[in-house]
Amino acid sequence: MAIRAVVFDVFGTLVYMRERRRPFRRLVGLLEARGRHGQAGDAARIMSRDVGLAGAVALLGAELGAQELASLERDLQAELASVRLFDDTAATLQALRARGLKLGLCSNLAAPYAPPVRALLPFELDAYAWSFEVGAVKPDPAIYAHVCERLGCAPAEVLMIGDTRADDWLGPRDFGMHSRWLRREGGDAREETIAGLDQVPAEVERLAD
């Protein structure tokens, strides 16, 4: 079955942050310092709900002072302002669109990070599977099902590209999609590993053979 669509992870794949302050991680740390015991699912709960920092505090059943929250918000705004496309992102998206392929995003992401990403893309994509809208985080099959449905494609017609082994390579593959693990640092000769987005069009062609 030929590839009809390519789906990308976002951070570490299409975009990066020049200034990392990790406000949501700091938030959890501050709550732990106040006596709330962190839970393994805290990050997933935040990323699967459409909430900002204040909403995350409420979601975790906690309280935080106004000054601390304002400090976290400043860190968040600094991160959002520092989001940039990787050098190979725009050209790759344009090359794939020129081939008539549908394009989508599938990302585990806290809600505030989505708008700056969409603003940087060279054009609107065909489908978006944000974890905070879907209510599920990778590698939950529900998020892959969502993006395939939005694209109007069977899983076997979709190629997923991302920089996380479990979420972007193994998870989609187990769901029935094709997948490639993006490792920009190199150092891995596996067949399903690529070193840059400029290799994606060739992978599409290879899968069509």
Q: How confident is the model at residue 189 (pLDDT cuts 50, 70, 90)?
A: low
Whole-structure pTM value:
0.95
Q: How far is CA 199 from CA 109, 164, 206, in A?
A: 25, 17, 11
Measured torsion, CA atoms of residues 31, 70, 120, 115, in degrees rounded to the nearest 10: 70
C-alpha 40/C-alpha 63 separation (Å) is 19
The model's pLDDT over 127-161, given as tens digits with 9 standing for 90+, comes to: 999 999 999 999 999 999 999 999 999 999 999 99
Which residues are paired to 128 by β-bridges?
Answer: 105
